[in-house]
Amino acid sequence: MSTEPALLLALDLAGTFAFALNGALTAVRVVRLDIVGVVTLGMITALGGGIIRDVIIDYLPPATFSDWRYLAVAAAGSLIAFVFGQRLDRMTGTITMLDAAGLSLFAVTGASKALDMGLGPAQAVILGAITGVGGGTVRDVLIQRIPTVLRSELYAIPALVGATITVVATRTDIYGLPLALGAAVVCFGIRMVGVQFGLNAPGPPGRRRG
Amino acid sequence: MSTEPALLLALDLAGTFAFALNGALTAVRVVRLDIVGVVTLGMITALGGGIIRDVIIDYLPPATFSDWRYLAVAAAGSLIAFVFGQRLDRMTGTITMLDAAGLSLFAVTGASKALDMGLGPAQAVILGAITGVGGGTVRDVLIQRIPTVLRSELYAIPALVGATITVVATRTDIYGLPLALGAAVVCFGIRMVGVQFGLNAPGPPGRRRG
Amino acid sequence: MSTEPALLLALDLAGTFAFALNGALTAVRVVRLDIVGVVTLGMITALGGGIIRDVIIDYLPPATFSDWRYLAVAAAGSLIAFVFGQRLDRMTGTITMLDAAGLSLFAVTGASKALDMGLGPAQAVILGAITGVGGGTVRDVLIQRIPTVLRSELYAIPALVGATITVVATRTDIYGLPLALGAAVVCFGIRMVGVQFGLNAPGPPGRRRG
């Protein structure tokens, strides 16, 4: 069964919006950029994962460039974050939560789209994870941080879990709105629990973590 | 009306040459690399924006790899900068001007090529800007600088203006050599005025810039 | 004459394995990441060069996503490095040698594959070099090092030599297992001699290297 296109689009745009807010707030808070820098970083964070996904699955030009809603949503999210970002209390928590939301939604839509384009299940899981972590990784490279996906908190694992649920559900013909949202919620939950409790994946054997 | 291919090619090669000189001089001056490093950084800066553009508009293999002149011009520019770079006075000014020239030419050719490949006008404007800022952004990431496009001087805005003029002119059937050059000159002018006077885009509301 | 596909695949998987070990050991040693970070960096290093190559030659989805063996080999290499990495003496030497092995194998397979896809000889040489240096460059960017290809040791040159031998041999119809291995060995040899003796390419004229 192919995923309902409208569902996929809605989730994809929601992820785009979350990452646009996240990238733009990061620019306001961490790097203190001006409006062009803020909107640029917001749009790159919002669109980066999907562009990487679409290049790999050979869906070119990427959805970002064939459907105006992606650009509009990414620009709107970035501008909103620029305008309201200064008034925000608890900025760091908000930034982390928006990142987790984007990660979760994109892991699900990336895996779905990969299956729709004929990729195998393992590849679809990996591609879902790449879609989820892609925008944030480009964001971190541009502002010279070691990307979150490499640092120790749980980040790639929830994306892989969300993508796996999506692939299994699609293969067993039970995919649909509740399941897609469920997969995203599971991914989001694992990520936020990891952030909350500072849980990390295990380090190499024979070494103590400081 | 489709752009005249010869005009597009000439502007594209001129931009490639400017960015090759710029990237190689940056390598000589800022990072003090050897000949391989200098030529590598020159070629990546020269070819990066066009490769990103061609991947996104699905023009594969990229022009860089289907037309030998791109590789030749990029290599020649990098070698010239390597040989003559040391004797150059006022290096920083030259590097900035070459970057502005590449930015302007690529913003125009990127937008033209996007329209030729059937992208919508807003997408063509964004893609023109991406083409203009792409090579320099990859250059900055490789030598560990926060990319110019994110830092505060006017950089993305002139690229967007140049691309917009190109799109409007093409849509109204008045595109041609004078207009393409005009769009590039406007972009170049805004960029250089921004550099000269240290003008920046406005910061987020409620914050003073130091 | 087209390259034997089985030979190309074997060399490609060997390069993938070498880069997976290299990237994962780098993560263990240099950045001290946890298991997810180690496997992620190993897989990106292993698969990065090939994905860039396949995007440029329009072989999409990339081999990484159409043939499960790439993902399996990359994951296996990364996990092996994670488990045994701590017990390794002379880690730095091993990391350098694995990087040289991946560089050599990918320069040869990259050039071969580019010819198979119809690119010209100069383009195939450049693409071979890009394939060889690609994964390591992405690795270095992610962990915030100036990429080896820009720093002064011989790195791009052996890749270009290996790719050139491959292109000349293929064009003269004498390509096959011995020649492909020979080209890789020559590339590996130049790289290791450069590392051993700290040889660098010449700097710009008129400047003394410190």
pTM of the predicted structure, to 2 decimals: 0.91
Confidence of residue A130 (pLDDT cuts 50, 70, 90): very high
For A38-93, the pLDDT digits (tens) are 999 999 999 999 999 999 999 999 999 999 999 999 999 999 999 988 777 677 88
Query: Is the pLDDT score of A174 beyond 80?
Result: no
Query: Looking at residue B206, what is its pLDDT?
Result: 52
pLDDT of residue B26: 93
Instruction: Using an 8 Å CB-CB cutoff, list chain B residues near C155.
Output: 36
- Residues forming a β-bridge with C200: C153
Q: Given this model, what pLDDT does residue A201 score?
A: 58
Q: Does the pLDDT at position B114 exceed 60?
A: yes
Look at residue A153 in the predicted model and tell me its pLDDT.
66
User: What would the mean pLDDT of C116-137 be, rounded to a whole number?
Assistant: 95
Structure confidence by residue, pLDDT tens digits, B136-184? 999 999 999 999 999 856 899 999 999 999 999 988 877 677 888 899 9
Of A149, A55, A155, A12, nearest to C65 by C-alpha is: A55
What residues 67-96 of chain A have any CB closer than 8 A to a CB of chain B? 68, 71, 82-83, 85-87
Whether residue A205 and residue C60 make contact (CB cut-off 8 A), yes or no, is no
pLDDT score at C30: 77
User: Inter-chain contact C201–B31, Cβ cutoff 8 Å?
Assistant: no
The pLDDT of residue B1: 41
Question: Which chain B residue has the Cα nearest residue A35?
Answer: B203
Determine whether the interchain pair C150/B142 forms a contact, defined as Cβ–Cβ distance below 8 Å: yes
* Residue C144 to residue C31: CA distance in whole angstroms: 10
- The ipTM of this complex is 0.87
**Among candidates A188, A44, A52, which has minimal Cα distance to A130?**
A52
Mean of the per-residue pLDDT values of chain B? 89
Return the pLDDT at B132. 96
Interface membership of B146 toward C (CB under 8 Å): no
* A74 vs C88, higher pLDDT: A74
What gap in Å lies between CA A132 and CA A112, rounded to an integer?
A: 12
Considering only alpha carbons, which residue of chain B is nearest residue C133?
B40
pLDDT band at B210 (very low <50, low <70, confident <90, very high): very low
Q: How confident is the model at residue B6 (pLDDT cuts 50, 70, 90)?
A: confident
What was the pLDDT predicted at C130?
Answer: 96
